[in-house]
Amino acid sequence: MLHALPPAPRRRFAFSARIETLLLATSLFWVLVANRSFFAGALEGRAPASGWGFAAALGLALTALNFLLLAPLATRWTVKPLLALLVVGTAFASWYIGHYGIYLDPSMMRNVVRTDWREASELFGWAMLPHLALTALLPLLVLWRWTIVRPRSWLRAATYRAASIALALAAFVGAVLAVYQPLASLMRNRTELRYLITPGNYLWSLAVVAGLDTRTATGPKRPIGVDAAPGPRFAARTRPTVLVLVVGETARAANWGLNGYARQTTPELAQLPVIAFSDVTACGTNTEVSLPCMFAPVGRRDYDEARIRGSESLLQMVARAGVGVRWRDNQSGCKGVCDGLPAEQLAGLDEGLLDGLGPWLRRVQGTQLLVLHPLGNHGPAYFRRYPAAFKRFVPACENDDLQRCTREQIVNAYDNALLYTDHVLAALVRTLQAASPQVDSALVFVSDHGESLGENNLFLHGLPYSIAPDVQKKVPMLVWLSDGFAAANGIDRDCLRRRAAEPASHDHLFHTLLALLDVHSALYDARWDLTHGCRAP
Ligand SMILES: [Zn+2]
């Protein structure tokens, strides 16, 4: 006997529609909640009357754009995992854009991809939970309760999809044409704004990074300076010679005591005969750009990321000339510049990088280049970079979430971290001084990039180079030479001190290091050597 089936109980909080409706809803949701910085930038300085129309056209164009990105990839089987992944990614992206004022361009995405967990964990905090609840959890819940309605036939599904893509394309073109003049001038004058369009920004930037890495990862790196050979002073050295290069992290010139900052953040170095360069410009605004660039023969003056990443660095080149090269790191690694050379990864605070240095100096031979890569002022948790004894500027921000602190607290914590860098560098100089009866030594310190500490509501670093403020680009740099090193290499330190008052940049590093080591090569360019004109013939 047949019974009529009881009606299915109505599920609460449930949705059902076609895939295309789901894509449209998601596209619109992102435009409304994940693009506030983009709209703020695009509408800046526009009268309210014209602003609304402009905003509406941009909103329509972005919704259509999101739809066009998703539609080719979304099938009955892929749509939910795809959207879940992008919803979470977009929620995080919009948080960091809004919170720190960053732009998700390719170099920032490279930073994100390469950041290690220890660094990244400081960027998570309770403050982001409400934002994530609204922009990730809520849409995930809707997604979970969404039943995909299947068209009756394959042909109908294909027709519907094709028609919806055509419609989105028409909406995109129509919206762009409607505001073409103001949009074109906006994109010309403020090209960086496109890196605020979420999720397009991080998807595009990830694709660029992946493409670049595939191109540069194929095969070995292109050798540079194959003619590198010891110069006459190098060949004539009878005493061990050690050049220590410290690649600083996130130290900005504006807060550097030796550069005239109102606060003395470099009390120990101020007591030592170091030569401080007062106007040094970094190659990039983040480690992933600056670090490889600093070891390349041509850096910012004709910047080409693919060429730099695809080529060997200064380190492999001088190693071929007979310099003993070592890399020591308690940070995120050498970003490829020390490939194939001895490298050590340490944990703990920066002073650990000096462990064993004294005994090593007593037995060292030949010409050595030791590169130290400390954590320095890596944010946002500046307070984790120094031991308690260096908590001298108080109150210091002791929260991973900078926005829970006042600007004064943030600057205090940042300056305390500089005090500690000052201490580590001074300890290094004293160690080299102590060994100077046996070893000729030199120290070069330069930071990789600067930092924003809340000026114009910007934090951290990594803004596109063209619009980055000086605090992210101007870095401290100093040189110290032992008497023996200066004499053996014919360097006039007073002359170098005068040179230090002139502008310099990361582009000078490659050629200056070649000169200090006395490695000769056709790649050497005297115009970029800071010691040129300060050396005895
Ligand atoms: Zn860095």
What are the residue boundaries of the structural domains of the chain, listed by start? Answer: 15-215, 229-379+417-528
CA of 126 to the centre of ligand 1 (A): 25
CA of 379 to the centre of ligand 1 (A): 9
CB 373 within 8 A of CB 446: no
Q: By percentage, how much of the chain surpasses pLDDT 70?
A: 96
CA of 462 to the centre of ligand 1 (A): 9
CA of 414 to the centre of ligand 1 (A): 14
CB 351 within 8 A of CB 424: yes
Task: pLDDT band for 6, please (50, 70, 90 cuts).
Answer: low
In this prediction, residue 390 carries a pLDDT of 97
CA of 248 to the centre of ligand 1 (A): 8
Instruction: Using alpha carbons, select from 335, 333, 328, 332 the residue that is nearest to residue 292.
Output: 335
CA of 449 to the centre of ligand 1 (A): 6
Helices vs. strands in the chain: H and E counts, helices first: 21, 14
367-372 average pLDDT score? 98
CA of 111 to the centre of ligand 1 (A): 9
Q: Which of 13-22, 117-126, 130-139 has maximum average pLDDT?
A: 130-139
SS3 assignment, position 275: strand
CA distance readout (Å), 530 to 280, 292, 500, 522: 12, 20, 8, 17
CATH level 2 (architecture), domain 229-379+417-528: 3-Layer(aba) Sandwich (3.40)
CA of 429 to the centre of ligand 1 (A): 23
CA of 39 to the centre of ligand 1 (A): 29
Q: Which two tokens stand for residue 135?
A: 């922009």
CB 282 within 8 A of CB 435: no
Query: Hey, what amino acid is at 388?
Result: A
Task: pLDDT band for 346, please (50, 70, 90 cuts).
Answer: very high
In this prediction, residue 165 carries a pLDDT of 97
pTM value is 0.83
In this prediction, residue 437 carries a pLDDT of 96
In this prediction, residue 527 carries a pLDDT of 96
Q: Report phi then psi at 241, rounded to 5.
A: -130, 125
pLDDT of residue 245 exceeding 50: yes
49-62 average pLDDT score? 92
SS3 assignment, position 360: helix
Query: Hey, what amino acid is at 8?
Result: A
Predicted confidence (pLDDT) per residue in 156-214, tens digit: 999 999 999 999 999 999 999 999 988 988 888 888 899 999 999 999 999 998 888 77
Query: Hey, what amino acid is at 501?
Result: A
Could you list which residues have their CB under 5 Å from ion ligand 1? 249, 287, 448
CA atoms of 87 and 81, how far apart (whole Å): 10
Task: pLDDT band for 1, please (50, 70, 90 cuts).
Answer: very low
Beta bridge partners, 280, equal: 475, 504
19-38 average pLDDT score? 96
Q: Which residues touch 134 (CB under 8 Å, ≥6 apart)?
A: 33
CA of 70 to the centre of ligand 1 (A): 34
CA of 448 to the centre of ligand 1 (A): 5
CA 252: distance to chain centroid?
Answer: 14
CA of 207 to the centre of ligand 1 (A): 23
Q: Minimum mean pLDDT among 66-80, 213-227, 455-469: which range?
A: 213-227
Q: Which of 103-112, 119-128, 335-344 has maximum average pLDDT?
A: 335-344
pLDDT of residue 48 exceeding 60: yes
CA of 277 to the centre of ligand 1 (A): 19
CA of 143 to the centre of ligand 1 (A): 38
Q: Which two tokens stand for residue 60?
A: 């329509």
CA of 250 to the centre of ligand 1 (A): 5
CA of 378 to the centre of ligand 1 (A): 7
CA atoms of 280 and 248, how far apart (whole Å): 13
CA atoms of 221 and 216, how far apart (whole Å): 8
CA of 146 to the centre of ligand 1 (A): 43
CA of 476 to the centre of ligand 1 (A): 13
In this prediction, residue 191 carries a pLDDT of 85
CA 168: distance to chain centroid?
Answer: 35
pLDDT of residue 248 exceeding 80: yes
CA of 34 to the centre of ligand 1 (A): 27
CA atoms of 47 and 190, how far apart (whole Å): 18
In this prediction, residue 7 carries a pLDDT of 56
Instruction: Using alpha carbons, select from 417, 447, 443 the residue that is nearest to residue 430.
Output: 443
CA of 291 to the centre of ligand 1 (A): 8
CA of 352 to the centre of ligand 1 (A): 19
Provide the mean pLDDT of the chain: 92
Predicted confidence (pLDDT) per residue in 130-157, tens digit: 999 999 999 999 999 989 888 888 899 9
CA of 259 to the centre of ligand 1 (A): 20
CA of 421 to the centre of ligand 1 (A): 14
CA of 288 to the centre of ligand 1 (A): 7
